[in-house]
Amino acid sequence: MTIPSRSWNGCVRCRKRRQKCGEQKPQCVRCEKDQVDCSYQKPLRFGGRPFAQSRFGACLSKNTGGARKAATIDGGFVYTSASIAKVVPSETSPCKLDPAAGTEPLEAEQVIEDETSLDLIQVSKRLPDPISSHVDILSFIPGNNRALLQYFTCNASMALATHAFVHQEVCELILPMALGNPALLHATLALAAIHRNSLTSMAENEMDDGAQRLVTHLTATSIRHLRRDLQDPRSSPLAAKVATTRTLFLCEAISGSHSLRAWRAHFLGARALLSSHAGSSQGFEQDPSLLFLQRWYNITEALVAITTDGLSAGQIACGGPRYLIGEAEEADVCIDMYTGCAEDISVVFREIGAVAWERRRAADDPGRHPRLSEQDFLREADLLEMSVRRMIERDKARSTVFNIPGGRDLSVEESKEFLLCNEAYQHTALIHIHRRVRRLPPNAAAVQASVQRIIECVESIRPAATLSPLTLLTTPLFTAGCEAAGPERCKIAQLLTNMFTLLRLPNMKRALQVLEAFWRVSEVSGIDWEDFSRQRNWDFLPY
């Protein structure tokens, strides 16, 4: 047999034993003679040096507690922790010795492994867990506040909405804005906390101390952030500021608290913000949320106008409406599903408030020359009443248009309920015209006819715990209650009680409490609501 020259490409076994290899394939002479497996593998070299002597090999060396190279069952290798790598016997392992081989001592076959050796380990073929497709966009909100936001979306906002279309509109406009504005977010949470306490509380009157502290904290936090936004006009858009003042207003208006004047500060704040932008219509056209907030402000301003204190200075430049408000084209007048009444009724309320303010000023200071004479007041009453009655006939005779997407999809019953809500507001206007402008007594036939019709409208609306026009009918019922007598008072009290039981809005219970206090005094003294509230310095808004 020819002695081979020095081997550079010998088999693994010959190189480990430092013996010359004949390099025959598939088995060299020595491996064939000893009847062992023969394999040829190229050693990995890093930087021209063996793996164990390279810097990378030193970092991964099992002698220093690092990782080690391990073979996989599919012929590859991975780096694994030296402390957990386990050898799995395999028939294909290049390190396996044949038990039948006994021609040489066992010690001669055993060599110390270096870091280039490959241990066979079982590597799982299981695919890694997929990344979850759910992204929690509310992760920045603490858990308790997140629960309040969820409650607002699924409960409080539905109790305040007249229909699913309105609820969707409010959530799509307000909630995304709230997530990006701390002032609006905390005001929304405060509104949710007020309604949640009303729903869960068993107390007859006030919220418990814990709920009160939570609402106070959330409201104060919202106001603090709002002040910062107002100091820096570029910090947040106008819509976010107006939406915050609107929500703070709602917190005070529906909370049923004894502070009957706190709502006015937020109303005036919203008025100032919108007035600062009144000269530019471009922003309203580009931002649909501003259009929605303007609708809210218009009806709110109208309701404030007919309160005892009304609007500042009456908000009238010269006496009387310059045209019959109901003469507008029918196609241009819609019933706003958010407010529950026709768009032009808010103009009538503002006119009534302005004339009533002038009427009151003339009575308080007869020595001054009033801007309107008695004949002027009566003429204004005739024009206003004619306008409202024209509206009533118009809405009975025509197919009413609803100014909200999906309004045409309302059922016949739903459309009827919105028309009843609208008619209740129209008779509310008639009561104010008769009592505060024309100065008719409460038992006058025209006044009692409107009281009776308001009760009939409310009774005709189906009871519902959420998404019902009932949420808007506190104002008409309170107005009717101030002029009602005998059995009508009992009906109104029962209707307000039923509405509170269904919707759990504290302002409904508070309206009944204020009415009951007024009824007790008026039965003895015959005082009217306007004088009664002025004596107690009440600025109650039956919202």
DSSP labels for 151-202?
A: HIIIIIHHHH-SSHHHHHHHHHHHHHHHHT-HHHHHHHHHHHHHHHHHHH--
Q: What pLDDT does 330 receive?
A: 52
Entry field: residues in the chain: 543
Question: What is the C-alpha separation between 192 and 282, in angstroms, rounded?
Answer: 33
Per-residue burial over 363-400, b if 16 or more Cβ lie within 10 Å, else e, is eeeeeeebebeeebbeebbebbbebbebbbebbeeeeb
Distances (CA, A) of 150 to 144, 158, 168, 173, 541: 10, 12, 15, 16, 28
Q: How far is CA 499 from the centre of its chain?
A: 24
What pLDDT was estimated at residue 77?
63
Distance CA 491, CA 486 (A): 9
pLDDT digits (tens), the chain, 543 positions: 555 555 578 888 888 888 888 888 889 999 999 999 898 877 665 555 666 666 666 666 655 556 666 666 555 666 665 544 444 444 444 444 344 443 344 343 333 344 444 444 444 455 555 655 666 667 777 878 889 999 999 999 999 999 998 999 899 999 999 999 999 999 999 999 999 999 887 655 567 788 889 999 999 999 999 999 999 888 889 999 999 999 999 999 998 777 777 899 999 999 999 988 765 555 555 678 898 999 999 999 999 999 998 886 544 433 334 344 544 455 567 888 899 999 899 999 999 999 998 888 877 777 665 567 888 899 999 999 999 999 999 888 765 566 665 556 788 888 899 999 999 999 999 999 999 999 999 999 999 999 999 999 999 999 998 899 999 999 999 999 999 999 999 999 999 999 999 999 999 999 999 999 999 999 999 999 999 999 998 989 998
Six-digit token pair at 276?
Answer: 């600062």
In a domain, 2, yes or no: yes
**In which domain, by residue range, is 36 found?**
1-65
Q: What is the structure's pLDDT at 122?
A: 47
Q: Is the dihedral of CA 448, 256, 473, 490 positive or negative?
A: negative
The CATH number that applies at residue 54 is: 4.10.240.10
Indicate the helix (H) or strand (E) that contains 394: helix 374-397
Phi and psi based region of residue 35 (left: phi greater than 0; alpha: psi -120 to 50; beta: remaining): left
Whether 28 is in a domain gets the answer yes
Confirm whether 52 is domain-assigned: yes
The helix/strand/coil state of 241 is helix
- In whole angstroms, give the CA distance from residue 472 to residue 196: 19
- In this predicted structure, what is the pLDDT of residue 116? 41
* 109: alpha, beta or left? (left if phi > 0; alpha if psi -120 to 50): alpha
Q: Is residue 536 part of a domain?
A: no
Total domains in the fold of the chain: 1
Give the contacts of 161 (CB within 8 A, at least 6 positions apart).
167, 170, 466, 467, 471
Structure tokens at 401: 């248009």
Measure CA of the first residue to CA of the last residue in the chain; give whole Å. Answer: 113
- The residue ranges of DSSP E strands in 139-288, in sequence order, are none
Report CA Rg, the chain. Answer: 42
Q: Which residues are CB-contacts of 366 (< 8 A; sequence separation ≥ 6)?
A: none
Kindly state whether residue 58 falls inside one of the protein's structural domains: yes
* Backbone phi, psi, residue 531, to 5°: -70, -40
Token pair in block for residue 25: 């394939």
- Asked if the structure places residue 459 within a domain, the reply is no
C-beta neighbour count of 324 within 10 angstroms: 14
CB neighbours of residue 93 within 10 Å: 15
Q: Does the residue 48 lie in any domain?
A: yes
Residue 105 Ramachandran class (φ > 0 left, ψ -120 to 50 alpha, else beta)? beta
Give the span between the Cα atoms of 15 and 19, in whole angstroms.
6
C-alpha closest to that of 479 among 352, 371, 317, 370 = 352
* In-domain check, residue 56: yes
For β-strands 119-120 and 77-81, DSSP reports them as unpaired
